[in-house]
Structure 1
Amino acid sequence: MTAGAQPSPATDAPPVTLGRAISQRSSLARRMMLIAAGWVLVLLLGGGFALDRTLTNLVRGNFDDQLEYLLNSMIVVAEIDSDGQVYFNRPLGEPRFLEPNSGLYYQISAEGREDFPSYSLAVTPSRSLWDTTLKQRNHLDNEPHFYDSDQLPEEPLRIVERTVILPDSDARWTFTVASRREELDAQILRIRSILIWSFAVLGLGLLVLAVLQSWYGLSPLRRVRAAIQSMRSAGTNRITEPLPLEVEPLVEEINALLAHSERQAEEARTHAGNLAHALKTPLTVLTNAATARAPDLHTAVMRETRTMQRHVEHHLARARAVGRRAIGHARTPVCESAEAVRRAVERLYPGTRFDIAGNRSALVAIERQDLDEILGNLIENAAKYGGGSVFVTVDVEPEDAQCVIWVEDDGAGIPEGERQRIFDRGARLDTGKPGTGLGLAIVRDVAEIYGGDVALEESEDLGGLLVRLSLPRAG
């Protein structure tokens, strides 16, 4: 490399190794596992969250119902004494209210009492509060209110409050019942722990099930692979093992592809054998003439080489048609090809009258080059051996799968007994005009390769030869 030259990108690019190529390929099993894992994760998270909210609200609601029951029991037995203080006309029946720091407390208070203006604030706490006072919230309605509070050090509380007006009092009294949240939080924590472990085990089980489902569901593909390996090693030519309905179309396509390949291989062997057989006789003649130093060696060489050339051209035309047919289904307009052939033949036979009629939009399932070769042979023969008029008619019936092309001339025609022999390679009825005798043979072979056929008849309109060419329509 010269100084200052820059390395080419292709040289500096890292090679694509087999490992990288395999890692970049997608996997059906991996896709199925990712989809299953994603849906399991979404459903378990959603279901777990909904179930956690439901159970947590159920436990908290049960806890709140107990607090509200105690609150209503206090309101029912509460009365106002002569000093304006609240007292209970019978015991509450809950001993934890009497035990200091028991975790269950109540407090009754009123602000701005109108019946005893000398008191701006009255507070009646439970004995369990001892010397502590709860901070209450002001509520203007008579509904119970629940909330959590951390106002007591190291003792989170669940509180319910309700504001009522007691008999013989114009003040709004706030009744409060508070309970330690440790038991409630412990129950919620236990529920969440059970949910987490349960859903984790459920998720793991679902993932294992997805793995087994993927392994079992994709087992027919592994059987197909084993069958293909058996075809390569054991020499079988079809997949005959019973497989599920979903895999049967794939197996049918593989068998059809194998059958198509076998037909192509058989056609290739047949063409090669026919060509070898056709060339064997001319080569033998040339070898014998050269060995015997025959005086007409020059004439024999010219005659036999023309014969060999006809055979080679014929088989090359068949090989090209077979190769183009294997590429895929073609769509070729018939009239467009016929017009192109007409313009070319008019230069060779300027005095001939051509008439192309029929369905101008007809399409055939044949490659354009092959259709041009077929129509070129037919139209050129009609112009060569006719009397000056060539008619081409394209006929397509809506319900018919074939497109019929009629090529007529006003020549002498072909006797009915010679119409089959004329398709043989090299067969010529009129040796006074130049030609190789391969035109109709090539037309027949190429048409049959595409699933069509060709027949010779007598033209009723022009009196000469009528060639009926049938080709498959393009859908």
Structure 2
Amino acid sequence: MAGPSINTRLVIAGSLWTALALVVAGFALTGLFRQYVESDFEATLADQMEEILELVEVAPGGGIGLSRHPVDPRFNRLHSGWYWQTMVAGGGEFSRSLSGATLSAPELIQLEHYIAFESRDQRGMALHGIAQYFVFPGSTNTLGIVVTGPAQAFEGSVEDFASTLAVVLIVLGLGLVFGLVAQVRFGLRPLSRLRATLADIRAGRASRLIGNYPADLKPLADELNALIDHNRDLIEGARHEAGDLAHSLKTPLTVLTNLGDHLEGEAGQVLRRQTAALAASVEWHVSRTRATGRRRSGSSQAPLAPVVDGLCRMLERSYEERGIVITRSPGDGLVFDGETQDLEEMLGNLLDNACKWSRRRVEVSTERNGDRLRLAVEDDGPGIPEAQLAEVLERGRRLDPSVPGSGLGLSIVHQVAALYGGALALSPSPLGGLAATLDLPAA
């Protein structure tokens, strides 16, 4: 089972890192914004504290009090969250909004600078405030001032900012992922081109990897070309060896055949039968090896019309005594994406088989469907029972031993067609005999 593609791996990994970075950035930006609005809120509270300081009066006896209360109306609305309170020995004052309650002053209040704190009022409202102690000339008492405001006053801004930021980051993330996908596809395009070229080589449409590849892929392309050349040399060597084997066996087989013709009785029959089987087996293996070598060694194209016409004329002359008539469609303009020799071998075997079994009539039809060719050979012979159609494609299988032949013709056609990614289908013909249909690649 194949795992995820490199493209998928890179996109998933990049998307996860992008999402993680955006989440971290979102929290960081929200935190920075919170610090900013808190500082701004505390600056507002500090202004209120400064106003209260300006209202402080020191009595002749050293007592400390306010000449009047701050005029900000927010400090007059009950339970508004905007509160102020002074703390001094002997008592203190507080805003009307506290409604007689007091604020819990934080510990460790300093003289040098205010401290910020979080608290809640008597109704549970969250408060954010500042507190500081002050010393005034002419008084030995220390005055503490506490000023608060509702935390929601800036928390709402933080929430609005976080919501808007989330939308922006999501849109940004989608844009980054889209850009990442485009970048990965662009970066892996040479690999896709390499894969497509290898597919063309495997299909016989190309012989080598050509084109300019990136520096990190060029060594791979060079190694693959070297492997292809080595494989081609091995196949060519196998083809030559197959030809040499056939040539070297030809003379001994001829001698054995002649010897069988001169022997009488059962020994002669056995020798002739075994010699014919051996010759047919050698021919089958040699044909298959040559076809494989041609298919793997490169690409070629074969026009259908001259091959069909030439084979039909030759077989009409061969079966002239039986009065076999072969009708065919022209097939003009149709081209087989393969070797002419292979097309002749496949179509020749089918036509010879049809003529051998037909009574008088054989039909050849050709057509193109997209990037595929369909070649059908039909006869008006006795046909083959449907239950036995698959058997005749087996090597050496003969349904009627009384008819001359090796039983290898249809098997060879089936094997050669498969080498081109094609197929041979057998079915009953409307003429009454067998219909053999070839499916092959079109050029």
Q: Could you state the TM-score of these two structures normalised by the residue count of structure 2? A: 0.52
Q: Give the 5 Å matches for 1:437-448.
A: none
Deviation at residue 271 of structure 1 after TM alignment: 3.1
Q: Give the 5 Å matches for 1:368-447.
A: none
Secondary structure of 1:170 counterpart = coil
Counterpart residue number, 1:106: 84
Aligned mates of 2:260, 2:104 — CA distance in 1: 130
Q: Residue 50 in 1 paired to residue 28 in 2?
A: yes
| Superposed CA offset, 1:52-111 (max 9, x none) | 11111011111111112221332244123357653335774534334544442211112x
Secondary structure of 2:93 counterpart = strand
Deviation at residue 189 of structure 1 after TM alignment: 0.8
Amino acid at match of 2:27: F
| Superposed CA offset, 1:400-444 (max 9, x none) | xxxxxxxxxxxxxxxxxxxxxxxxxxxxxxxxxxxxxxxxxxxxx
Counterpart residue number, 2:195: 225
Amino acid at match of 1:139: L
Amino acid at match of 2:201: M
The unaligned stretches of length 5 or more in structure 2 are 264-443
Q: Residue 67 in 1 paired to residue 45 in 2?
A: yes
Counterpart residue number, 2:183: 213
Secondary structure of 1:122 counterpart = coil
Amino acid at match of 1:223: R
Give the direction of change, closer, same or farther, for the CA distance of 1:195–1:140 in structure 2 (3 Å limit). Answer: closer
Counterpart residue number, 2:105: 136
Counting aligned pairs with the same residue, the percent is 29
Aligned mates of 1:138, 1:239 — CA distance in 2: 80
Counterpart residue number, 1:444: none
Secondary structure of 1:136 counterpart = coil
Counterpart residue number, 1:146: 116
Aligned mates of 2:206, 2:104 — CA distance in 1: 90
Preserved CA contact (<8 Å) 1:139 1:163: no
Counterpart residue number, 2:96: 127
Q: Residue 86 in 1 paired to residue 64 in 2?
A: yes
Within the candidate set 159, 162, 170, 1:200 is matched to 170
Aligned mates of 1:103, 1:140 — CA distance in 2: 21
Q: Residue 32 in 1 paired to residue 1 in 2?
A: no
Secondary structure of 2:128 counterpart = strand
Preserved CA contact (<8 Å) 1:100 1:129: yes
Aligned mates of 2:44, 2:109 — CA distance in 1: 23
Q: What's the Cα RMSD here?
A: 3.1
Aligned mates of 2:97, 2:119 — CA distance in 1: 17
Deviation at residue 283 of structure 1 after TM alignment: 7.1
Deviation at residue 220 of structure 1 after TM alignment: 3.0
Aligned mates of 1:149, 1:124 — CA distance in 2: 19
Secondary structure of 2:92 counterpart = strand
Aligned mates of 1:215, 1:157 — CA distance in 2: 54
Preserved CA contact (<8 Å) 2:74 2:80: yes
- Name the stretch that deviates more: 58-67 or 221-230: 221-230
Within the candidate set 19, 22, 42, 1:41 is matched to 19
Give the direction of change, closer, same or farther, for the CA distance of 1:286–1:125 in structure 2 (3 Å limit). Answer: closer
Amino acid at match of 2:150: R
Aligned mates of 2:37, 2:76 — CA distance in 1: 26
Preserved CA contact (<8 Å) 2:106 2:117: no
Aligned mates of 2:220, 2:248 — CA distance in 1: 41
| Superposed CA offset, 1:123-172 (max 9, x none) | 21123323222122343531311111113314321111111223332222
Give the direction of change, closer, same or farther, for the CA distance of 1:155–1:288 in structure 2 (3 Å limit). Answer: closer
Secondary structure of 2:137 counterpart = coil
Q: Give the 5 Å matches for 1:209-288.
A: 209-277=179-247
Counterpart residue number, 1:398: none
Aligned mates of 2:214, 2:109 — CA distance in 1: 73
Number of aligned pairs?
262
Deviation at residue 259 of structure 1 after TM alignment: 0.9
Preserved CA contact (<8 Å) 1:164 1:172: yes
Preserved CA contact (<8 Å) 2:109 2:115: no
- Name the stretch that deviates more: 49-58 or 70-79: 70-79
Preserved CA contact (<8 Å) 1:149 1:156: yes
Deviation at residue 228 of structure 1 after TM alignment: 2.9
Preserved CA contact (<8 Å) 1:106 1:126: yes
Give the direction of change, closer, same or farther, for the CA distance of 1:166–1:98 in structure 2 (3 Å limit). Answer: farther
Preserved CA contact (<8 Å) 1:41 1:203: yes
- Name the stretch that deviates more: 237-246 or 53-62: 237-246
Deviation at residue 286 of structure 1 after TM alignment: 8.6
Give the direction of change, closer, same or farther, for the CA distance of 1:221–1:171 in structure 2 (3 Å limit). Answer: same
Deviation at residue 200 of structure 1 after TM alignment: 1.5
Preserved CA contact (<8 Å) 1:79 1:167: no
